[in-house]
Structure 1
């Protein structure tokens, strides 16, 4: 019996587009994005939020442009931020033209919703003239009336048909620089729609479980839905939709990709849930380390295990490891090997110093070109 390598994810083959200077689709890394919740017309507040998202690792950021005041603010917003900005256009075609002229890297717009063929042509021309891509965004909650009448309710078939209808409008205008999403708040509906769309076209797909909920519930729903799709090779860019600080969306997005080995950024902490065997307060230690290591962008692994049952085994697989030992005498592992001991009171500061030093070492090796091809592949993925 032939068994596929259990860690292998074979990504769906899709064409590649660019959102600004960021490639999406093809063999490009899966990108992570979020959306601001400030008034876009308040340029300063929007810029500050985008900077926070940039620091968290956002590859691109979407802003809502429901009115002319918002598109007027775009020029300043784009000038003072470094990630590509996606303008979310609701129904008014002029906002799309204004956003493209202001320098938006992408328009989130459904061409079938903006009126006449002339209006569509005008938006397409603006996108071409200003090197702006598009995203067709189908949502189960706002499907066209004729599709609801045809199918009776939101269903995967209706969502795929809607997406392909919008895509055909752009194709008829000789425009192919777009990606597609088919989002629903229901995990089963969203996953089935993406699976159907993945079979029906080769455009890059933007994944999301829309209106997923708060930080805890939304993370769970998004992890299940996006995880199923990503594990099967579907998806080129993701957004985790949470009723929470947008920065949390970026953090969760990276954790989903890291858990599947699709992309790594920052410190991956492997830690136990703690039990009566713990030789130090594991939960508090991990909480503190997550906060103090949030600035590290270099991919590396850290294991924090409260006792010797699983500690040595986990430490063998991580860059740095800590295993609870005696009453106040815990073992530190470096590159999988036992190295020295540390007392509880010095533990957190010591681990932070070790991680920062290891990150600097990795970055120096990367800069000098001394990292082996295998090591580089593991760390960049």
Structure 2
């Protein structure tokens, strides 16, 4: 706040126009340590430093963007149905999609699924080491596996060889509901210590075989247990972490639990990739995963709508308008902000901070804001189509500017 106070109004308004809704990272000194010069220190998130691995073409960990994952719920043997779901998830923004491979028929179908997928495919494997080998051969980018469940050391080595030969990474997936008997006997119940110990035991198996391309998850359906386990694991190793509250529930209850659990960890800088586990369409998992990241300024995709809950002061039907906007702007991938506020109490202030805004003013019309400034009035009847047109036009301008900047940078590099 002190930094903002020091700016005069003109410089502050210019700053908001240039940096609206952008994440603010703390400046770094020559030794890489954060300084105290951040303009908005209360928005800074300093991510835990982790190793970087590759899941196909997608980097996970290090300074790579936090990725969003989901998992198909079709029969994997039904390749066409699974491919349709993978494509829908990718269109919604999924960076990585996981597919269960419980039998040989599933790994046979996996080859076609991988071939048609625009994003890396993770093969979910339990117990059968042959399925893991087949999945690697079929082109899976990553194997979700617990080395301790595979069996004899030689079988583990076979899986590692297959992963190494075919460029697969791995995920060690620890779940509070399936901890090893010796750990339950030692700790009496699932607890953070037991989950971390399980994860590190499995990690050691891979490390002893000189395999280091793996990430780890320690999931539980209990938010407190999940958060505590990930915090302890983050302190115990530098492996990239796959975050998730497992078996979180339905769309609403599971979305809330995931936002609390994952949001808390991400805010602390813990986590390199996320999956929101819901008893719902996988596309909804992707949407909620992105909304969690967007709310923390960790990822940006599409239009962020700032809207009021509405009340008797509203000059138009806010709820139905926002619902329609979400549907009609779902195709926009360019990041921008849109405020839709029913009256003039908070409307002008919110519009000042967004790329495009509309504030209800009564008498059947409202005010349109562009780049935080009043632009023109618009009647309520034409407001929806007008806002969609403005957003689409703004997206085109942003993408054109990016393309021009990229072309100029390429030209300079070629000189």
Alignment TM-score, normalising by the size of structure 2: 0.88
4+ long deviations beyond 3 Å: none
User: Unaligned 5+ residue runs, structure 1?
Assistant: 374-381
Counterparts of 1:348 and 1:245, CA distance in 2? 28
Please give the secondary structure, in 2, of the residue aligned with 1:333. strand
Among candidates 129, 134, 142, match of residue 165 of structure 2: 129
Q: Could you tell me which residue of structure 2 aligns to residue 226 of structure 1?
A: 262
Task: Pick closer, same or farther for the CA change 1:71–1:354 going to 2, 3 Å.
Answer: same
Other-structure match for 2:253: 217
Counterparts of 1:59 and 1:326, CA distance in 2: 43
Q: Paired residue for 2:82?
A: 46
Query: Separation in 2 of the partners of 1:329 and 1:147?
Result: 65
Q: Secondary structure at the match of 1:369?
A: helix
SS at match of 2:374: strand
**Partner of 2:307 in structure 1?**
271
Residue 361 of structure 2 aligns to a residue whose secondary structure is: strand
TM-score (norm 1): 0.96
Q: What corresponds to 1:97 in structure 2?
A: 133
What are the Cα deviations for residues 288-321 of structure 1, in whole angstroms up to 9, with x where unaligned?
1001101100000000000001101100110000
Is 1:20 equivalent to 2:56 in the alignment? yes
Q: For 1:234-286, what per-residue CA distance to the aligned partner results, in whole angstroms no more than 9, with x for missing partners?
A: 00000000100000000000000000000000000000010111000101110
Note the alpha carbon deviations across 1:112-131, whole angstroms, 9 max, x for none: 11000000000000000000
Tell me the distance in 2 between the aligned counterparts of 1:48 and 1:227: 30
What is the deviation of 1:326? 2.5
Answering whether residue 84 of structure 2 is matched by residue 59 of structure 1, we say no
Q: Secondary structure at the match of 2:215?
A: strand
Q: What are the Cα deviations for residues 91-114 of structure 1, in whole angstroms up to 9, with x where unaligned?
A: 100000000000000000000110
Within a 5 Å distance, the mapping from 1:350-365 to structure 2 comes to 350-365=386-401
Structure 2 residue 342 is matched with structure 1 residue 306: yes
Which sits farther off after the overlay, 262-271 or 362-371? 362-371
Match of 1:158 in 2: 194
What is the Cα-based RMSD across aligned positions, in Å? 1.6
**Residues in 2 aligned to 1:142 and 1:327: alpha-carbon distance in whole angstroms:** 61
Deviation, 1:82, is 1.2
Counterpart-to-counterpart distance in 1, 2:342 and 2:196: 49
1:1-381 paired onto structure 2 within 5 Å = 5-369=41-405
Tell me how far 1:81 sits from its aligned partner.
Answer: 1.2
Unmatched runs of 5 consecutive residues or more in structure 2: 1-35, 410-415
Secondary structure of the residue aligned to 1:45 is helix
Instruction: For 1:261 and 1:53, locate their aligned partners in 2 and report how far apart those are by CA, in whole Å.
Output: 22
Offset of 1:327 from its aligned partner?
A: 1.4
